[in-house]
Amino acid sequence: MTPTARQHPNVPDVDQSDRLIPVNLRQSGPTPVQMLISTRVRKSPFWHLSIEAGCWRATVYNRMYHPRGYIRPEDGGAMAEYDALVNRVTLWNVAVERQIRVRGPDAEAFVDRVITRDATKIAPMHGKYVILCNEAGGILNDPVLLRLDHDEFWFSASDSDLLLWLQGVNVGLGYDVDIAELDVAPLQVQGPLSEEFMADLFGAAIREMPYYGLMEAELAGCPVVVSQTGFSGEKGYEIFVRDATLNAEAVWYALRGQGARYGLRVIAPAHHRRIAAGILSWGQDMDVETSPFQVNLAYQVPRKKEADYIGRAALEAQRAEIDAGRYPFSLKLVGLAMGGQPITDYAPDFWLIATPEGARVGYVTSPWWSPELGHNIALGYVPWALSGLGTDLRVELPDRYTDTSGEAVPAQVVPVPFRPSAHPSAREQAREHGRDWSV
C-alpha cells in the first residue's frame, strides 16, 4: 500500500454516507503531549487521591479529568492492572459518571418518556442499563439508571451532556420534575474477591443484593448508596458517595485500608475486560449518530412499550426495514478475533478493516489482547454483508503489532461477548434461550 493511500485524510473507501459527521479515520498514531490541568475542566473529589495512588496519565470524560493508568508500562502497565482485576479486587475512581437526578411528582412519567425501556417496571432501590435516543433514533447516552424512590431517579451518565439535554427536553414537555446534578461521586469495586470485601465492609446483606439492586449504607460515617453494577464483566459493585466534596477522603481511605487484606489495587477503568464482556463505550463504540440496531442493543428497544418515548417512530421504522430483510445502515458493529502481536494499551486511532483482497470496508473501535484466549480481540464496524460469523477479514494495525511490517493481520467475525461475564447481559441470556435479540 502506498504512503499516499495509507495517509488519505478521509479514507473514502469506508462507507459512512449515512453519517453527517463521519468518524475521524485519519491514522495519526500516538501523539505524545502533556495534558494541561486547569480550572476549565473539573477535578473530581478523588482526583488528588488518584494521583497519590500513582495515577500517571489521564483523559477527559464528562468534562472532568479521568485517571486512566496507575501501573507504569515498565512495571506491567495495563495488563498488570488486568491481572489484579480478574484475580483479586480493584478500586476505580469513576467520579466522571456524573449523577443526574430527576425528582418530582412526574419523575416516572418523564423518565419513561426519555428512555427506550419501560421505566415503570423498575422498582424503587433497583436499577437498569438504559439508553436515551434522539428523534432520529441515535444513541445520546447509555447510563445506568438508578431508582432511589418512587419519585426519584439518578442517571449515572456516560460521556455526553445528558444534564443539558434532559433540562432542554423538559422545557418543551413541561413535566413537574427537578433535574439537577448531585454532589455524588461513584467508585467501583470490581473483581472476584469483591463480594467478600464488600460484605466485610457492609455486612451480610451485600450477599443478598440482586444484580442492579441498591442499598443505602454508611462507610466511615459517610452516607453512601451501594449497587451491584460495574463496567468490567467481573463480579462488582459501585459505591455512590453522597456529599462527595466533603466525604471523598474518608470513604477512599476506608476502602483502601480494609482492602489491603484482600490485595486491593487501585486501577483505571478496565477497558480490556469490558471489551471481552462485550460492554460498549459511548463515544468509542457508538455515538449520537448510531442506532441501537447497529450495535446489538436491539433488546433496549421493546416491541411493546405502552408509553411513547423520544425516538420511537424512527426506531420502529428501522426495525421494520430490518424485519423486511433490508438493513438500513452502512455498517454494523461486530466482534473480531485478530492476529498480530499483543495489543496491551489503548489504540490512538480507529484502525482500518479490509477484506482479504485489501479493500477497506470498516474500522476497529475497541481492540485489546485477551490473555485467556491467547489472541487479540476487538469490536469494529463492517458492512452488513460482511457481518456474519466466520467472515474472514484483515485489520491494518500499526507496525509494532504486526508480524510483518506493512502487512494487515488476519481477523474473523466471532460472537460477542468473547468470554463469559459474572452477570450475563440480556443479549447473552437471550442467546442461551434461543432468542435472537440482535434485531
Is pLDDT of 425 > 50?
A: yes
Please say whether the beta carbons of 363 and 396 come within 8 A. Answer: no
Q: Grid coordinates representing 240?
A: 455512590
Domain count of the fold of the chain: 2
Domain identity same for 373 and 283: yes
| Dihedral over alpha carbons 130, 283, 277, 26 (to 10 degrees) | 160
Q: Which three cell numbers stand for residue 63?
A: 468534562
Whether residue 362 sits in one domain with residue 244: no
Range of the domain at 381: 276-290+330-432
d(CA 204, CA 386) in angstroms, rounded, equals 49
Percent of the chain with pLDDT over 90: 88
Task: Classify residue 352 by burial, with Cβ atoms within 10 Å: 0-12, 13-18, 19+.
Answer: buried
| In a shared domain, residues 281 and 385 | yes
Q: Please name which of 373, 362, 372, 342 lies closest in space to residue 285, comparing C-alpha atoms.
A: 362
Note whether residue 422 is domain-resident.
Answer: yes
Q: What DSSP assignment string belongs to 369-404? A: EETTTTEEEEEEEE-GGG-STT-EEEEE--GGG-SS
- Find the helix or strand (DSSP H, E) in which 112 lies: helix 107-114
**Do 335 and 402 reside in the same domain of the chain?**
yes
The CA distance from 137 to 134, in Å, is 5
Render pLDDT for 8-32 as a digit per residue (tens, 0 to 9). Answer: 566 888 999 999 988 888 888 888 8
Q: What is the CATH number of the domain that holds 282?
A: 2.40.30.110
DSSP code at position 286: B
Q: State how far the Cα of 264 lies from the Cα of 181, in Å rounded to an integer.
A: 30
387 and 411 share one domain: yes
What is the structure's pLDDT at 3? 43
Asked whether residue 220 falls in the same domain as residue 284, the answer is no
Q: What is the CATH number of the domain that holds 202?
A: 3.30.1360.120
R_g over Cα of the chain:
22
User: Of the candidates 38, 35, 45, 56, which has an alpha carbon nearest to the alpha carbon of residue 268?
Assistant: 56
Does pLDDT of 199 surpass 80?
Answer: yes
Whether 125 is covered by a domain: the verdict is no
Within-domain flag for 403: yes
Q: Are residues 380 and 281 in the same domain?
A: yes
C-alpha angle 423/79/426, rounded to 5°?
Answer: 15
Tell me which of 113-117, 209-213, 403-407 is least confident.
403-407
Q: Does 192 reside within a domain?
A: yes
Which helix (H) or strand (E) segment holds residue 111: the answer is helix 107-114
Predicted local confidence at residue 8, as pLDDT:
56
Looking at residue 421, its pLDDT comes to: 78
* Nearest partner of 350 among 287, 398, 411, judged by Cα: 398
- Indicate whether 373 belongs to any domain: yes
236-249 average pLDDT score: 98
Task: Kindly state whether residues 252 and 366 are assigned to the same domain.
Answer: no
Interval 320-340: pLDDT, tens? 999 999 999 999 999 999 999
Q: Same structural domain for residues 206 and 282? A: no
- If asked whether residues 281 and 252 sit together in one domain, one would say no
Query: Do both 348 and 405 map to the same domain?
Result: yes
How confident is the model at residue 26, as a pLDDT?
A: 83
Q: Are residues 345 and 373 in the same domain?
A: yes
Q: Confirm if 138 and 290 have CB atoms less than 8 A apart.
A: yes
